[in-house]
Amino acid sequence: MDLFCGRCEGLYEVSRAAVVVTGVALRTAGPPDVASARPDPEAASLDVPLVARVDGLLEDVDFPDDRKGSLAAAVVHELLPGLPAGRRGLFLGTGLSSLTPDELRRDLYPSLRGGVFDREWLARDLEQGRPAPWRHQPERVTAVLAARLGAVRSETNFSACAAAAQSIAAGARAVARGDVDVALAGGHDSMLHPLGYLSFVVLGALSPSVGRPFDRRRDGFLIGEGAAVLQLEREDDARARGAPILARFLGAGSSVDAHNVTAPHPEGRGAALAMRRALHDARLEPGDVDYVNAHGTGTTVGDIAEAIAIHDVLGAVPTGSFKGAFGHCIAAAGAVEMAWCILGFGLGRTWGTVGCEEPDPALRCSVLLRPKNEPPRVVLSNSFGFGGQNCALLFGRP
Amino acid sequence: MREVVLVSHCCLAPVAPSNTVAGFDPVAAGLPRKSLKTMTRAVQLGVASVLTCVRATPGWAQVPPERRGLFVGGSPQQGDVDDLSAAIEAAGPVPDLRAFAERGEPLIPPLWLVKGLSNNVLGYASALLDLRGDNGNWCDGRLGGAVALCNAVHAVAEGRVDLAVAGGADALVGAEAIFGVPCAEGAAFFVLVPRGLVSGSVRQIRACLPRELAGMDEVGELGAAALPVALARAIAAGRGFEGGGLTVAGVTDS
């Protein structure tokens, strides 16, 4: 057996059904044009000055002990009553489990002191019918919500900060392919718990002050949390039932840096490839994109690599980041940010970059500082994760 | 759509009655020695399986890196508890976050976090083999391997990649109290390409909706590796395979 690789050149063209967005549900700490971060007592003990927390979520009785589950349930339940009949799919990106301070103190801390996750802890939770490790398994939330939807297909994507964007791409492709008739696709995450804070403190990725994406004084990001799902359908089906069309899915591209598990490629090689693949998938030219929602975390090296990649692929296109407004929503970032961009189509807004006051002249990047009362026609949204995974999404005005 | 064929695979799975992969040597399998301390057992098995099946595919290096994809099913990984124990000891006998932050946190090695990254099979294997194309990592319990393989089939069929490496890895030994059944470890990965790109003996593979595989392997619960290992066992026995949303035919000449 051997491969004839002369036939690899060029991307294979596949025609597919047009996919549109007919519903959006999201939860973030605040809107994209206001800084929503504030102090948190638990975070302060770990020298984390500000976090961006979503208010009023834990009323969902089905996930009383799981903040991420509550976030996901809130957005899925919002769209559930209006979902059309047909084969449904649920595509969720998520991250590591949340641990409440009580769980840390009561369960994990004593277990760790013993050097192992002790069996008494497991036995106690099993007796209560709620095995703790299962409670924290990422697929649990997807499985519960998929059952409520009556979904014929579900996925739990765990591709770090690219997870939700990849889930949206997977959901759109499943709809286009005909695997499902309607998909809820997006993500949910919260690292607002002691081990979550600790992870980023150890990494040195958090800002000691406020998030300033692309600013000359940027020094890290704020931890946020959030959830969003897009309701995706084939355009023909949506028009046939008279559904409102909020946006068009145009294309998506994923790539891997293949460089380092914790640092981006210094010249944004993978980021650029994801954007090029998204353009090809959408059959668009670089000049067709009139706004980039950058991953834009506000870390020194991350913003440099992304700015290089954006300039290489798209030139001097207006670029913004939400992370100075409602923080970095980690695995949910790609979904909440795309959702706000789509809402911007209807509101007639192009969102700016809260926190950026003096764009870094070293970055070849056209940062949009303030919102504009004119929506873009085509938005490209970037999401990049540890492990080198990258995903770019392209959505357009209806 | 392109027809997709399975051209090579690597299965690292226990032989009953054992529930561990006997004689597994990550360095001999090609894993960099310096990276081992940041790889859990599941990640070591997964990366070794990816390396072996790709290197067993003649001509793979001629596929451009941007056209090589990697699709992984796994479970969330955890850093070593041992790496946290010094910090916890330093914080004192009563749980206190402030004490933990002030005295414990400086004692935590940064590698604790790196080892706990749940997409490490993808991160390490992509860097070692320069796999830069379409990709995904799913932590979906027993469904994970099926989701990874089905997505890989679609990626090749729809032309997003010309070579997809897909499968799953898990190491659940010691987690019997959680699952309530005997647990095991294993990994199996497969190389998928479009039929038009290959000559020789191949197997056609088709995907529909990913499903959990019914039943448990004779060595115990394999988690995200359950379906990939079952598929590899079927291939080793010279059979076709149907399950988990996949249909794999017997050997044909391309």
**For the purposes of burial, counting CB atoms within 10 Å of the CB of A348, is it exposed (0-12), middle (13-18) or buried (19 or more)?**
exposed
At B191, phi and psi to the nearest 5? -105, 125
Q: Tokens for A254, please give them.
A: 């994923």
pLDDT at residue A116 greater than cutoff 50: no
Peptide bond between residue B17 and the one before it cis (omega within 30 degrees of 0): yes
Comparing alpha-carbon positions, the chain B residue that sits nearest to A124 is B177
The DSSP element (H or E) to which B9 belongs, if any, is strand B4-12
Range of the domain at A363: 19-99+136-396
Kindly list the domain boundaries of chain B, sorted by start residue. Answer: 4-78+117-253, 79-115
Does the CB of A101 have a partner CB in chain B at under 8 Å?
yes
Rounded to whole angstroms, how far apart are CA atoms A224 and A189?
Answer: 9
Q: B57, B134, B151, B181: which to substitute to probe chain A, counting the most A Cβ within 10 Å?
A: B134
Judge contact between B166 and B189, C-beta under 8 A. Answer: yes
Contact call for B62 and A137, based on CB within 8 A: no
Contact call for B76 and A158, based on CB within 8 A: yes
| Minimum distance, in Å, between the CA of residue B131 and any CA atom of chain A | 6
In a domain, A108, yes or no: no
Residue whose token pair is 């579900």: A154
DSSP A160: G
Q: Mean pLDDT lowest for which of A17-26, A101-110, B2-11?
A: A101-110
pLDDT digits (tens, 9 = 90+) for A234-260: 999 999 999 999 999 999 999 999 988
Rounded to whole angstroms, how far apart are CA atoms B26 and B30?
Answer: 7
Judge contact between A27 and A54, C-beta under 8 A. Answer: yes
| Minimum distance, in Å, between the CA of residue A338 and any CA atom of chain B | 19
Of A60, A105, A100, nearest in space to A78 by CA: A60
pLDDT confidence band for A64 (50 / 70 / 90): low
Rounded to whole angstroms, how far apart are CA atoms A170 and A63?
Answer: 26
Query: What is the average pLDDT score of chain A?
Result: 87
Please indicate whether residue A162 or residue A96 has the higher confidence score (pLDDT): A162
Q: According to the model, what pLDDT value does residue A66 have?
A: 75
In a domain, A111, yes or no: no
Residues contacting residue A136 through CB under 8 Å, at least 6 positions apart: A66, A97, A98, A99
Judge contact between A382 and A255, C-beta under 8 A. Answer: no
Contact call for B138 and A157, based on CB within 8 A: yes
Can you say whether the dihedral through the CA atoms of A198, A199, A200, A203 is positive or negative?
A: positive
Contact call for A177 and B198, based on CB within 8 A: no
Q: Which of A126, A158, A281 sits opposite B118 (nearest CB)?
A: A158
Alpha-carbon Rg for chain B, nearest whole angstrom, is 19
DSSP A372: B
State the average pLDDT over residues A49-64. Answer: 74
B53: helix, strand or coil:
helix
Kindly indicate whether the domain formed by B4-78+117-253 is annotated with CATH number 3.40.47.10: yes
Contact call for B122 and A152, based on CB within 8 A: no
Please indicate whether residue A144 or residue A323 has the higher confidence score (pLDDT): A323
Does the CB of B134 have a partner CB in chain A at under 8 Å?
yes
In a domain, A3, yes or no: no
Percent of chain A at pLDDT > 90 equals 70
| Minimum distance, in Å, between the CA of residue A97 and any CA atom of chain B | 9
Residue whose token pair is 């980041």: A321
Q: Which of A46, A138, A166 sits opposite B136 (nearest CB)?
A: A166
Does the CB of A259 have a partner CB in chain B at under 8 Å?
yes
Neighboring chain B residues of A137 at a CB cutoff of 8 Å: 76, 139, 141
Rounded to whole angstroms, how far apart are CA atoms A12 and A249?
Answer: 20
Q: Which of B62, B101, B131 sits opposite A5 (nearest CB)?
A: B62
B86: helix, strand or coil:
helix
Q: Which of residues 190-209 of B touch A (CB under 8 A)?
A: 193-194, 196-202, 208-209
Contact call for B140 and A155, based on CB within 8 A: yes
Neighboring chain A residues of B76 at a CB cutoff of 8 Å: 96-97, 137-138, 158
Judge contact between B28 and B47, C-beta under 8 A. Answer: no
Rounded to whole angstroms, how far apart are CA atoms A301 and A285?
Answer: 28
Catalytic residues of A: 161, 295, 328
In a domain, A334, yes or no: yes
Does the CB of A128 have a partner CB in chain B at under 8 Å?
no
Judge contact between A396 and A243, C-beta under 8 A. Answer: no
Of A48, A94, A53, nearest in space to A385 by CA: A94
The stretches of chain A forming alpha helices (DSSP H) are 41-44, 67-79, 101-103, 109-113, 119-127, 132-135, 138-149, 163-177, 194-203, 235-240, 269-282, 300-314, 323-326, 333-347
State the average pLDDT over residues A23-50. Answer: 89
Contact call for B59 and A158, based on CB within 8 A: no
Please indicate whether residue A76 or residue A107 has the higher confidence score (pLDDT): A76
Q: B112, B139, B183: which to substitute to probe chain A, counting the most A Cβ within 10 Å?
A: B139
Q: B117, B135, B142, B154: which to substitute to probe chain A, counting the most A Cβ within 10 Å?
A: B135
Tally of domains within chain A: 1
Does the CB of A389 have a partner CB in chain B at under 8 Å?
yes
Q: Which of B8, B38, B135 sits opposite A256 (nearest CB)?
A: B135
Q: Tokens for B60, please give them.
A: 């793979």
Can you say whether the dihedral through the CA atoms of B7, B12, B13, B18 is positive or negative?
A: positive
Does the CB of A155 have a partner CB in chain B at under 8 Å?
yes
Does the CB of B36 have a partner CB in chain A at under 8 Å?
no
B146: helix, strand or coil:
helix
CATH code for the domain of A178: 3.40.47.10
Number of Cβ within 10 Å of residue A119's Cβ equals 13
At A150, phi and psi to the nearest 5? 70, 35
Does the CB of A84 have a partner CB in chain B at under 8 Å?
no
At A226, phi and psi to the nearest 5? 170, 180
Of B223, B210, B143, B138, nearest in space to B179 by CA: B223
Provide the angle, in degrees to the nearest 10, between the axes of the packed helices A333-347 and A163-177: 70
CA distances to A32, A48, B33, B106, B184 from B109, rounded to whole Å, are 36, 19, 19, 8, 29
Contact call for B110 and A203, based on CB within 8 A: yes
| Torsion (CA) A327, A329, A334, A336 in degrees, nearest 10 | -80
Helices (H) and strands (E) in chain A, counts: 14, 13
**Amino acid sitting at position B42:** A
pLDDT digits (tens, 9 = 90+) for A265-324: 999 999 999 999 999 999 999 999 999 999 999 999 999 999 999 999 999 999 999 999
Interface size A-B, in CB pairs within 8 Å, comes to: 232
Instruction: List the pLDDT tens digit at each of the 254 positions of chain B.
Output: 899 999 999 999 999 999 999 999 999 999 999 999 899 999 999 999 999 999 999 999 999 999 999 999 998 887 776 777 787 778 777 666 677 777 877 888 877 778 888 899 999 999 999 999 999 999 998 999 999 999 999 999 999 999 999 999 999 887 776 677 899 999 999 999 999 889 888 899 999 999 988 889 999 999 999 999 999 999 999 999 999 999 999 887 76
B253: helix, strand or coil:
strand
Comparing alpha-carbon positions, the chain B residue that sits nearest to A196 is B113
pLDDT confidence band for A120 (50 / 70 / 90): very low
Q: Which of residues 61-90 of B touch A (CB under 8 A)?
A: 62-67, 70, 74, 76, 81-82, 84-85, 88-89
pLDDT confidence band for A33 (50 / 70 / 90): very high
Q: According to the model, what pLDDT value does residue B99 have?
A: 74
Q: Tokens for A343, please give them.
A: 């809402």
In a domain, A79, yes or no: yes
Provide the angle, in degrees to the nearest 10, between the axes of the packed helices B41-55 and B120-129: 30
